[in-house]
Amino acid sequence: MATVKNCIDQKSANVISLTSTDSVFDALELMKNNKVRSIMVIDSGVLKGIVTQGDCAIKVLLPGWNAKQTLLATIMTKNPVTVGLADQLDTCMNTMASRNLRHLPVVEAGKVMGMVSIGDIVKDIIRQQGDQIKQLETYIKGHGVA
């Protein structure tokens, strides 16, 4: 399986984030505009938390709080689980499954590099399966190494 670095290299270098003093409304708008379901909360270059659409809906909208007045610091998941560039995607998949996560921030030497999502891992699995199918077809057709 590929590494987190392989995955990040395939994505935009743009790190989608806000600060802890930005509003939930700002976060939802940023998610909508970038077609993502979570953003990182970064203060002075340091990852402080992560906010998902679910956080916004369950912690703010459902109780009737004002999304324009509620700060991300209030609802973010602080000190989120992170991965590094050298981590394997199958390790990420196991972490996501065991902790019921859909997004893992990527941090290398204290610097936020991006985010790996469950969708990224599914795409890698599909790519791997395609490669395996091609290899098996080649072998079946008699072009494999004896």
pLDDT tens across 44-88, in order?
Answer: 999 999 999 999 999 999 999 999 999 999 999 999 999 999 999
Predicted TM-score (pTM) of the model is 0.84
| CATH at residue 23 | 3.10.580.10
Contacts of residue 72, Cβ cutoff 8 Å, sequence gap at least 6: 18, 19, 20, 21, 22, 23, 24, 26, 27, 41, 49, 51
14-18, 21-25, 97-101, 120-124: least confident range: 120-124
On average, the pLDDT of the chain sits at 91
* Whether residue 126 has pLDDT greater than 90: no
Tokens of 57: 């809906």
Q: In the predicted model, is pLDDT for residue 145 greater than 60?
A: no
Q: Which domain holds residue 54?
A: 4-143
Count structural domains, the chain. Answer: 1
